[in-house]
Amino acid sequence: MWQYSAIMRFLALTLALTPFAAVALWQNSFDDHVKKLQEAQSLSLTLTTSVIGGTTEDVRVTLSKPNLVRIDSSGQLITTNGKQIWVYDKAGKTYEESPIDAGSPASVWLLDNAWVYTAFFNDKIGDQIASATKGSSRKLRNVAVTDWNITRKDKAVLQVQMDDQLGIVRGFRTTKDKAEVFVFAKEIKIGDAPIAEGEFAFVAPAGVNKKSSPAAGAALTFADIKPILDANCIGCHSGGGAKKGVVLSSYQEVAKHVTPGDPDNSRMIRPVKRGQMPPGRPLPADTVAKLEAWVKGGAKP
Ligand code: HEC
């Protein structure tokens, strides 16, 4: 549910005419929520997420202006310092690191399943609402709340529970893997100073390894690599006159010069990476990366 590849569906809005009466209705509620979150410099939430009829778990969400997000759940930690994003798979003891393009709204789309809290980063969130109707007031887990039914312009309908005292959303329904989930913020902490960027950088715990494009590397076979060797290497590395006896014209020969899974310890890769092979004509970075990925993925035939 907290996948960083989550769809930015709420960013792609259909233009709809907002009935004036509806605007007036939610102005005193959701606007207040947006204003409070806009004024906050940091926000720490402990969200209890309950799959209806299923499991419950606490997810810790920490947000800081201008674009810092950390989402910590039992299985996964996702964190971004605005430049890089890390996804740490706790059970698998691996993590992935990817750069973020400047100007990317990562901080917003990371919160795909907690849309109401994107108001912390996005002061225009109110523009995404078509209408809202007030329901009853009641106690929810010992907190005085008022129900609101919000219809967004993308047609999504949300039930949210507004904390009467804080003026911030406490509870809402969402979906995770097609299951209905109820989310309740059991702890809401607002900070008036931003949290240091360093707090959002991922430091791998001992024994945790970085995954480098495993899917791409694992899928590559010698057939993907052969055209690169044919075009750039075999002129000097085939037949009896092969330089240094290194023959690169068949899988059986190439396999003698690679250590599957370990490009840095592969004789064929090292001079290519250093830009020494082919002599005087270094390969483009993406071609080198492809050779490396093939070895990394097991140097499959
Ligand atoms: C224009 C000729 C030429 C081309 C093209 C060429 N090489 Fe070489 N290669 C050589 C020569 C010459 C040597 C021996 C260099 C030396 O004496 O250190 C060599 C040596 C090597 C070695 C052995 C290095 C060692 O550890 O002893 C490897 C591995 C290698 N080449 C890989 C490649 C790969 C991979 C390509 C294509 C991407 C390539 N070469 C393209 C000329 C070539």
pLDDT of residue 85: 84
pLDDT of residue 28: 57
3-state class of 178 per DSSP?
coil
277 lines ligand 1 (CB under 6 A): yes
245 lines ligand 1 (CB under 6 A): no
Is 199 inside any structural domain?
A: yes
pLDDT of residue 104: 59
Q: Which structural domain, as residue segments, surrounds residue 160? A: 20-210
Assess whether 98 and 165 both reside in one domain: yes
Q: Ligand 1 centroid vs 74 CA: distance in angstroms?
A: 49
Residue 110, phi then psi, degrees to nearest 5: -60, -30
Total number of residues shown for the chain: 301
Is 71 inside any structural domain?
A: yes
**Which of 210, 228, 251 corresponds to the end of one domain?**
210
Neighbours of 19 (CB within 10 A): 11
Atom of ligand 1 lying closest to residue 280 CA:
1
Model pTM score = 0.56
Hey, which bits of the chain come out as E strands? Answer: 42-51, 56-64, 68-72, 76-80, 84-89, 94-99, 129-140, 143-152, 157-163, 169-176, 179-191, 209-210
Assess whether 71 and 182 both reside in one domain: yes
267 lines ligand 1 (CB under 6 A): yes
Assess whether 155 and 27 both reside in one domain: yes
Assess whether 243 and 104 both reside in one domain: no
Assess whether 89 and 121 both reside in one domain: yes
Assess whether 184 and 223 both reside in one domain: no
Burial annotation 43-68 (CB, 10 A radius, 16+ → b, else e): bbbebbbebeeeeeeebebbbbbebb
pLDDT of residue 155: 81
pLDDT of residue 212: 62
Tally of structural domains, the chain: 2
- Whole-angstrom CA distances from 74 to 59, 60, 90, 93, 133 are 7, 10, 8, 13, 35
**pLDDT 10s per residue in the chain (301 long)?**
444 333 333 222 222 233 333 444 445 578 889 999 999 999 999 999 999 888 999 999 999 999 999 999 999 999 999 888 888 999 999 998 877 765 556 777 678 778 899 999 988 888 888 888 889 999 999 999 999 999 988 888 888 999 999 999 999 988 776 788 899 999 999 999 999 999 999 999 999 988 865 445 567 899 989 999 999 999 999 998 999 999 999 999 999 999 998 998 999 999 998 888 998 888 877 788 889 989 988 899 9
Assess whether 192 and 229 both reside in one domain: no
Is 8 inside any structural domain?
A: no
pLDDT of residue 234: 93
pLDDT of residue 275: 84
pLDDT of residue 177: 67
pLDDT tens digits, residue range 148-183? Answer: 999 988 888 888 999 999 999 999 988 776 788 899
Is 72 inside any structural domain?
A: yes
> Best of 232, 236, 256, 288 to mutate for ligand 1, by most ligand atoms within 8 A of CB?
236
**For ligand 1, atom 17, which residue shows the shortest CA distance?**
244
pLDDT of residue 13: 28
Assess whether 222 and 191 both reside in one domain: no
pLDDT of residue 195: 96
Assess whether 113 and 167 both reside in one domain: yes
Assess whether 180 and 230 both reside in one domain: no
Assess whether 200 and 281 both reside in one domain: no
246 lines ligand 1 (CB under 6 A): yes
Beta carbons of 162 and 33 less than 8 angstroms apart = yes
Is 5 inside any structural domain?
A: no
Is 14 inside any structural domain?
A: no
Is 9 inside any structural domain?
A: no
Beta carbons of 175 and 181 less than 8 angstroms apart = yes
**For ligand 1, atom 32, which residue shows the shortest CA distance?**
268
**Which of 189, 210, 231 corresponds to the end of one domain?**
210
Assess whether 164 and 137 both reside in one domain: yes
Q: Ligand 1 centroid vs 214 CA: distance in angstroms?
A: 28
Give the number of C-alpha atoms closer than 13 A to the C-alpha of residue 213, restricted to the C-beta side.
13
**Domain with 75 in it: what CATH number?**
2.50.20.10
